[in-house]
Amino acid sequence: MTWQVRLFARTRLGVYKNCLDLIEAYSELAPWWERVLLTIYAGVGPPLARCLGSSTRNLWHHADTIVADLLAVSGMSPQDLAKSLRQYVRLKREEDHKLSFERARECIYDQAFYPLVTHFTFAFQPSAVARMRFVRRTVESFSASSAIVADLGCGSGAMLCEVLKVRPNWTGYGLDISEAAINYARRLATHKEVAARAQFQTGCLMNLPFASGSLDVIIASEVIEHLPRPKRVFEELSRVLAPGGQLLVTVPAESHTPAHMHAVSSAEDLCGLIEQAGLAVTSVETKWHVSYGDDRKHIFAVAKAGRKSTPKIDPYSFPLPQISSAASSGILSS
């Protein structure tokens, strides 16, 4: 694909050197049909997007920034990064059945490529870009000037870092079962200059290490489907959410990923799980995405915690400030 990359470099795409370097490195490892898809994506995608009213310049600039961050935080060359991404692609192709939670942890979450993959998706995967926009748009709508936000199942930490950039007076906490992801997220937070307001720790959503009623905003994006007991997860999310606090959830409705143990089949099913946990759904939307290797359908929802009389504060291991005035006064409303 070298000649195609050279051709792209002579067009408007030439300024996005990080993307082109990674595309070229990846294409050297990919089979011919993937190289064809890459050529079509890079060559036909931009003019098609323009016809549909999208800003291709913004899309490529965003992707180039993500790839630049990946290279800086990982310390890898484009060739080494491409090799790591190929590991996951190969596993995803070979594992055509749903992995158990323990097997998924062994094959995916505990692997060095895991945080790289979760970060890379925000560059080119339509559903991941849409999720980032959804979370950013939602937190921007909150009126609280200060708040405690937690990204549960944070992966690379990219989403939490974005939120903290948008809300410079907020404090953030990231939780993920993957030690590799947590180590990467800490480096990314330093790279994005939000480390002073971010703390990361390993842990599981089925037994959250947070005090009851201690979080103003919770993000649970593309994580519920990875866990064996979704009802238990939502009960935990409800427990740690402060009075008037907000929960942002995204889940795939059609999943083709081995690490996904289940998929919520409809917005009604997701709302049912949320409401059973004692939370009130304030908005829900279903989005379709067309892209190679992506889950086609996702559900985005926002829910709010009711007014709890006296939140119970439990002695959990994760150090958190007291319940913020923002949540206790109920001003986290959109």
Q: At what angle do helices 158-166 and 126-141 cross, to 10 degrees?
A: 30
Tell me, what's the pLDDT at 89?
Answer: 83
In a domain? residue 40: yes
In a domain? residue 103: no
Q: Give the C-alpha separation, 194 to 173, whole Å.
A: 11
3 state DSSP class of 246: strand
The half-sphere exposure of 141 on its side-chain side, counting CA atoms within 13 A, is 11
144 within 8 A of 171, measured Cβ to Cβ: no
Q: Can you give the residue range of the structural domain that contains 268?
A: 125-328
Residues across the chain: 334
In this prediction, residues 20-49 reach a mean pLDDT of 74
Question: Does the pLDDT of residue 280 top 60, yes or no?
Answer: yes
Question: Does the pLDDT of residue 53 top 90, yes or no?
Answer: no
Q: Give the C-alpha separation, 252 to 263, whole Å.
A: 6
In a domain? residue 290: yes
Lowest-pLDDT range, 49-58, 77-86, 182-191, 280-289?
A: 49-58
Same domain, 161 and 310: yes
Same domain, 131 and 90: no
Number of structural domains (the chain) is 2
**What are the tens digits of pLDDT across the range 232-263?**
999 999 999 999 999 999 998 876 676 776 77
In order of 60, 70, 141, the CA distances from 22 in angstroms are 13, 11, 35
Same domain, 186 and 69: no
Q: Domain holding 149: CATH number?
A: 3.40.50.150
Query: What secondary structure, in 3-state letters, does 89-120 show?
Result: HHHHHHCCCCCCHHHHHHHHHCCCHHHHHHHH
Question: Does the pLDDT of residue 323 top 50, yes or no?
Answer: no
Tokens 């590991």 identify what position? 87
In a domain? residue 119: no
Q: What percentage of the chain exceeds 90 in pLDDT?
A: 54
**What's the pTM?**
0.86
